């Protein structure tokens, strides 16, 4: 901009409407933002997406019935079913995760207590040779 050119930011003069002077009716009142909701937030994180997807409801066949449950619960049910069928990776993961969950609940099991019937039934389902 040269020295002789007038500034375009504030026009000289006392006219009511013109460049950089909109009509009073269309101006925002003092203290009110032109964008009350603000700038939209950024992308959701992967953890937020994961939790959102895990909360969605799906229909799952349980025996002869079809029940509705969230995907997270269905995933855990499938993991435990795979572990009970003898898939060692699923069994290890489910056992480790179950131990973590019990620790967070402060549920301490007595290691000297005899096995329950349910625990004995799970052990009976496991293969005799864990390397197969």
Under 8 Å between Cβ of 58 and 69: yes
- Long-range contacts for 81-87 (Cβ within 8 Å, ≥24 apart)? 84/122, 84/125, 85/125, 86/125, 86/126, 86/127
In terms of phi and psi (left: phi > 0; alpha: psi -120 to 50; beta: otherwise), the region of 80 is alpha
Look at residue 128 and tell me whether its pLDDT is greater than 90. no
* CA-closest candidate to residue 88, choices 76, 111, 74, 96: 96
Give the model confidence (pLDDT) of 81-117 as tens digits: 999 999 999 999 999 988 888 877 755 566 778 888 8
User: What six digits make up the tokens of 76?
Assistant: 């855990």
The pLDDT assigned to 56 comes to: 95
Q: Is 61 helix (H, G, I), strand (E, B) or coil?
A: strand
Give the model confidence (pLDDT) of 2-32 as tens digits: 566 655 666 555 656 777 777 777 777 888 7
The pLDDT assigned to 130 comes to: 62
Look at residue 34 and tell me whether its pLDDT is greater than 80. no
Enter the pTM of the model: 0.47
Q: Which has the higher per-residue pLDDT, 129 or 17? A: 17
The pLDDT assigned to 118 comes to: 86
* 52-to-71, 76, 97 alpha-carbon distances in Å: 10, 16, 21
The pLDDT assigned to 76 comes to: 92
Mean pLDDT across the chain: 81
Other C-beta atoms lying within 10 Å of the C-beta of residue 102: 12
The pLDDT assigned to 60 comes to: 92
């Amino acid at each position: 901009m040269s020295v002789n050119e007038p500034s375009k930011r504030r026009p000289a003069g006392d006219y009511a409407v013109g460049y950089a002077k909109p009509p009073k009716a269309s101006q925002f009142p003092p203290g009110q933002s032109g964008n009350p909701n603000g700038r939209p937030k950024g992308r959701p994180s992967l953890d937020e997406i994961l939790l959102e997807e895990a909360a969605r409801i799906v229909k799952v066949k349980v025996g002869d019935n079809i029940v509705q449950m969230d995907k997270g619960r269905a995933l855990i049910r499938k993991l435990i079913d795979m572990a009970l069928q003898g898939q060692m990776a699923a069994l290890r993961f489910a056992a480790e995760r179950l131990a973590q969950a019990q620790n967070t609940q402060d549920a301490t099991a007595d290691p000297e207590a005899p096995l329950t019937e349910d625990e004995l039934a799970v052990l009976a389902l496991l293969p005799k040779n864990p390397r197969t």
